[in-house]
Amino acid sequence: MIIIKRAFGFLFAVLLLVVSGTGISASAKYKENIEIPVMLYHVVKPETDPANPYQYNLSEFKKEMAYLHQQGYRTLTMKQYFNILDHKASMPKKPILLTFDDNSSDFYQYILPVLKEYGMKATEFTVSSWINGSWNMTASQMLEIMDNGINIQNHSVTHSFMADLSKEQQYAEVNNAAAALRDLTGQKPQAFAYPYGNYNTDTIAVLKESGIKGAFKVGGGISNDASSRYELPRIIMLQEHTLTDFIRMVNTGY
Ligand SMILES: [Zn+2]
């Protein structure tokens, strides 16, 4: 009987070693490799103005979302993105953060239907004074995209070059936009995108003082857990980029 007990005890110890051993190696491996491409689009529509590099062609965009779907990419919410970077949540095998700037009306008309087709999440960096503007989404459209899994985040009040403003003016740009977005959505924005990718040390200080969790610049490759939270890289999609460019950029950041 004692021998049987010992045998069971030994087996149990071996089992524990195997289970904990694989657990440790899996989590260590995962922690070494946190890389999340963050894509940046502006206007996406069927007929683009050839003179405006920030306008992206809808047919090309559709190919890119189909590619992500086929390849098994998981689109993240902003909350998931920060939790993964901070090692508070496990990372899906192929994570990606899709961001769209400037709350333009084409998002509602053209982009949302594509994202809905694939059940994709995304973030809309919203300029608060542009809500209901002539080429922008209305407040009710903003609420509707939010109901469809789109995060509304902060892209300032007036879309100014932040580095040209005093610290007080920058504080107003960040916090008045945050208040307007919170009034609209009921949620406090966690992230900021620098208009034109422009910022200085005052901007970062203001964001930290205002409780913003992280801020995105333009360019800089693929974001990872070591990226400065107030200089998070984004990969900008311009009109000249094709699906081939997109695939390369998702994989290399450039
Ligand atoms: Zn912008």
Quote the Cα angle for 36-92-244, to 5°: 50
Neighbour tally for 236: CB within 10 Å: 18
**C-alpha 240 – ligand 1 centre gap (Å):** 19
Question: What is the secondary structure of 159-209 as a DSSP string?
Answer: ---GGGS-HHHHHHHHHHHHHHHHHHHSS---EEE-GGG---HHHHHHHHH
Asked if residue 99 lies in contact with residue 54, where contact means CB atoms within 8 angstroms, the answer is: no
Helices (H), the chain: 2-32, 58-70, 78-85, 105-106, 112-118, 139-147, 167-185, 201-209, 243-252
If you measure from the C-alpha of residue 165 to the centroid of ligand 1, how many angstroms do you get, rounded to a whole number?
Answer: 16
Distance 71 CA to ligand 1 centre (A): 29
What is the 78 CA–ligand 1 centroid distance (Å)?
18
Spans of the chain, pLDDT less than 70: 1-32
For residue 57, report the distance from its CA to the centre of ligand 1, in Å: 18
Q: Ligand 1 mean position to 101 CA, how many Å?
A: 5
Instruction: Give distance in angstroms: CA of 155 to centre of ligand 1.
Output: 7
Measured in Å, residue 135 CA sits from the centre of ligand 1 at 13
The rounded Å distance from CA 247 to ligand 1 centre is 24
Q: Which of 94, 75, 95, 60 is nearest to 246 (CA)?
A: 60
State the distance from the centre of ligand 1 to the C-alpha of 16, rounded, in angstroms.
53
CA of 20 to the centre of ligand 1 (A): 47
Q: Could you state, in order of their start, the residue ranges of all structural domains in the chain?
A: 1-27, 32-252
Q: How much distance in Å is there from the Cα of 195 to the middle of ligand 1?
A: 5
Homologous superfamily, domain 32-252: Glycoside hydrolase/deacetylase (3.20.20.370)
Q: What is the pLDDT of residue 30?
A: 47
pTM over 0.75: yes
Cα 102 to middle of ligand 1, angstroms: 5
- pLDDT value of residue 33: 84
* Distance from residue 42's CA to the centre of ligand 1 (Å): 8
Cα–ligand 1 centroid distance for 62 (angstroms): 22
